[in-house]
Amino acid sequence: MNTFLSAAQKTLQEQYVKFVDEVIAPVAAELDKVEGSSCQKEIMSKLGQNGYLGITVAKDLGGQGGTLLDAALFVEALGAQAAGLALAVSSHYSVVELISRFGSETQKSRYLPLLARGECFGAQAFSEEKAGSDLSLIETIAEVNGAEVKLTGVKTWVVSADLPVLLAVLGKNGEEKGVWLLDGADRSSVELSARKGTMGFRSARLFDVNLKAAKASADNQLKGADALALASCALDVSKTLLAACALGLCQEGLSLAAQRANTREQFGAPIAKNQGVQWKLADFSTDAAAARLLTYRAAWSRDGAPAEFRKFAAMAKSYAARTARLHSGEAVQIFGMLGASCDEPLERIYRDAKLTEIFEGTSELQKVILKEELGV
């Protein structure tokens, strides 16, 4: 399967899997607690200390100078054990992308080293109660007054918002939309909701963020294409990484289901001897392999074929998410009642897999993108 990964990428992949096996897997169940876990923040810092938050940041700015495919390999490994952390990392890299592509030299040198070291996390503050799939409906006001901008509005479902965070805030100044970088300097005018519980991705820290005339420097606005196009570029990165997270869920779910099928005996033989069970595993393995090809292709096209990135990111996200949700459900079926037990990891994988179809643009919205790419 790794045929088109370079030797260097295979080495990175091994290093990532080893880190996740040693550091994340032992606390995977703890991280999945609905109320959150005390070790979450510590693990997020370890990601920074090990360079895993600077994979795509240029070397001269303190990063690894790697590609989006390198980052996808990391998120794939992470997603298998802690999908919520994989979501936080994906969102972080989408902000790295925004600054790397659209930031001024000052913004790059101010923020990218901090992001690469994990001294602050990048997070999208795009969604609002009335603006989910349709971000053109945002109501957050950006009041620009000379060298200062004040941001007022409520952003929903913001990941990592209680950590030292750099928010990419989608707002509007009159009719004109923009993306502003809001760092922690003016915390007093940023109010967080209680941490939000979700059916899956519980190792993410999710909050609604109430911006009460939160101050940023007016030159913290990202320049470039129009604001919705900027948000879309950020989402192309985070959705490719979320597709990689879905691959991790698939890999773990498939391996657990195959193991169980070989060892669980009913009617005098392992259940794996039944063709009905074998076919579920065969379909899972085929679709997961196809999802991996699409995801790596999407990640590669970020640099290798930029004109195709948006299309492949949409294909990868919707296909990998569907594969994870559909086949992790079949894996639960193979496990029988044990698959529904909260003491078994498969139940977590199934809950996580469902959510991959929703954030960073729902699966339906990916199809809207794909029909646009077809000129329909």
The residue ranges that bind ligand FAD (CB under 6 A) are: 91, 123-127, 132-133, 157-159, 198, 201, 206, 355, 358-362, 364-365, 368
Q: How far is CA 36 from CA 103, 119, 188, 247, 369, in A?
A: 34, 21, 24, 24, 34
Q: How far is CA 326 from CA 23, 281, 318, 355, in A?
A: 29, 12, 12, 12
Tokens at 32, concatenated: 């999945």
With respect to ligand FAD, which residue has the nearer C-beta, 94 or 323?
94
With respect to ligand FAD, which residue has the nearer C-beta, 129 or 265?
129
Provide Rg for the chain, Cα atoms: 21
With respect to ligand FAD, which residue has the nearer C-beta, 123 or 316?
123
With respect to ligand FAD, which residue has the nearer C-beta, 244 or 254?
244
374 burial (CB, 10 Å; 0-12 / 13-18 / 19+) is exposed
CA distance 218 to 222: 10
3-state class (DSSP) for residue 170: strand
With respect to ligand FAD, which residue has the nearer C-beta, 171 or 361?
361
> Residue 371: enclosing H or E segment and its boundaries?
helix 363-373
Residue pair 122/94 in contact (Cβ under 8 Å)? The answer is yes
Residue pair 335/346 in contact (Cβ under 8 Å)? The answer is yes
Beta carbon of residue 331, minimum distance to ligand FAD (angstroms, whole number): 21
Residue closest to ligand FAD (Cβ): 132
Beta carbon of residue 263, minimum distance to ligand FAD (angstroms, whole number): 34
CA distance 46 to 55: 14
> Residue 92: enclosing H or E segment and its boundaries?
helix 83-102
Residue pair 45/118 in contact (Cβ under 8 Å)? The answer is yes
Residue pair 334/280 in contact (Cβ under 8 Å)? The answer is yes
